[in-house]
Structure 1
Amino acid sequence: MKARVKLIDGMAFLGESGSGHGIVMDGAPEYGGRNIGIRPMEMLLLGLGGCTAFDVVQILRRGRESVTDCVIDISSERAETDPKVFTKIHLDYRVTGRDLSADKVERAINLSKEKYCSASIMLGATAKITHSWTVVDEAAGTETPSTA
């Protein structure tokens, strides 16, 4: 896997992935940026969210669960001094589908957390990562929140 980051203006950078996709990253104005792109540390959280969402949906679909939506709200805290690593990250999953098994959703989240999500495992070396989830059944119109 390869990537490239190139300065484009001020403190704005163009990130290009090996798969040919690009994204603009920029710093806050107080650091010389113009606020025209996502912050690099926000990219890490998005990478974590994308990695675990991919795992959870794939695990559930392989288990023949009918998943129609998966949204993960991510909140975090960072150290106050340099390096300002993430110290706490919370992922709140909202998995929607038809006749979804809450037990299978919990299992998929745990498998992602413990085995498959490389981003979660790497960030877990410095941050305490916690999870909560809600299963939304479109057919029944019900919501089942996690008890953990």
Structure 2
Amino acid sequence: MDAKVTWQEGMRFVGGGPSGHPVAMDAGRESGGSDTAPRPTELLLVALGGCMGMDVVSILGKMRTPPRSLEIAVTAERAPDHPKAFRKARVLVRAEGVPEGNLRQAAQLSRDRYCSVGNSLSAEVTVEVEARP
């Protein structure tokens, strides 16, 4: 897989991959940017949540217990010194209309086996679930 990132101006970049959809990135004003787009590190957490969410929806569908709603909340801890890498990430998977056991199994399968984003991180990733009837 290939991706390309092109500098626009200041600290603003636009990247894209094989899907052809552009993704803008920028730094905050305190770092010389214009604050016009998410930071690359934000996108990494969003990618983790999106990857796990897609896995969970797919797995729950195969279990014949599709969710009525699904939300992924990602909280990460970063090192205080540069490169300020993520050390830990907590992923909370909230769903409605899914048995808690199925939700837990789907989330664990995503974390341990299927989510390429999470498995590409060197951070410890923990997963919690909340199922509502």
- Equivalent residue, structure 2, for 1:107: 105
Match of 2:96 in 1: 96
Identity, % of aligned positions:
37
Structure 1 residue runs without a partner (length 5+): 138-148
Give the alignment's Cα RMSD to 1 decimal.
Answer: 1.1
Match of 1:73 in 2: 73
Question: Quick one: distance in 1 between partners of 2:66 and 2:74?
Answer: 24
Structure 2 distance, partners of 1:81, 1:91, is 23
- Give 1:131's match in structure 2, choosing from 123, 127, 133: 127
Q: Indicate the residue corresponding to 1:5 in structure 2.
A: 5
Post-superposition offset of 1:59: 0.3
Contact 2:27 2:33 in 1 (8 A): yes
Bigger radius of gyration, 1 or 2? 1
Counterpart of 1:142? Answer: none
Structure 2 unaligned segments of length 5 or more: list them.
none
Tell me the CA shift for residue 70 of structure 1. 1.1
One-letter amino acid matched to 1:64: R
Alpha-carbon separation, structure 2, partners of 1:14 and 1:35: 14
The answer to whether the Cα contact below 8 Å between 2:78 and 2:88 also exists between their aligned partners in 1 is: yes
- Structure 1 residue 2, shift from structure 2 partner: 2.0
Q: Deviations over 1:47-68 (max 9, x none)?
A: 1111111111100001111312
CA positional deviation for 1:83: 1.6
1:140 is aligned to none
Secondary structure of the 1:52 match is: helix
1:119 and 2:108 equivalent?
no
- State the secondary structure of the residue aligned to 2:129: strand
User: 2:125 & 2:25 partners in 1: Cα distance?
Assistant: 25
The structure in which a higher percent of residues are strand is 1
